[in-house]
Amino acid sequence: MLRVVVMVSGGGTNLQAIIDSISAGEIKNAGIVGVISNNYGVYALERAKKAGIESAVVCPKDFLDRAAFNEALLDKVNSYEPDLIVLAGFLVVIPEKMIDAYENRIINIHPSLIPSFCGTGYYGLKVHEAALARGVKLTGATVHYVDKGTDTGPIILQKAVEVKEGDTPEILQRRVMEEAEWKLLPAAISKIADEKESK
């Protein structure tokens, strides 16, 4: 059984998609052992609670400096003994020490077809604003492994989503979530879990 830690910063819709996929038996060889947020009071923590999943908050504001925060974050992650760390809308730069400790065991979902609209500064609505400004006809989402670059790790899965006439960044963001993100992230976890199981 793949032990999964999900890291979140906000509402946790991708977390919910993973929880639902595990409940429905679509993800067979994995379970969420912990949810970590960098923000207090976000709805993702409520989702974890409703699903009976242990959660924790490690907030940068609670620490004197970034180094202390990074240390505490890694300690909390280690406490769950995860096989896989899933960044599901986690808007914090992952410390290099954590990337080293969990090489090829951290995945992220990005709301575009990498290499388009990715890298430093491209997150949340900014990605969809850039896609609309460029006039692309297709966008989508990408699940990739996390390395020391920004959105530069090996790609696991991608799914294209049509850009429609009259789309706003908010409308496009919602469609990318519904048609791509909420399907891709559970599929990637399932793929990794099944591969580990078959070894």
CA–CA gap between residue 97 and residue 90 (Å, rounded): 17
Give the chain's radius of gyration (CA, Å): 16
Q: Among this protein's residues, is 110 annotated catalytic?
A: yes
Answer yes or no: are the C-beta atoms of 70 and 58 closer than 8 Å: no
Q: Which residues pair with 32 in a beta bridge?
A: 4
Please identify which of the residues 34, 107, 110, 187 carries the catalytic annotation.
110
**Sheet of 30-37: strands edge to edge?**
55-57, 30-37, 2-8, 84-87, 106-110, 138-145, 155-162
Catalytic residues: 110
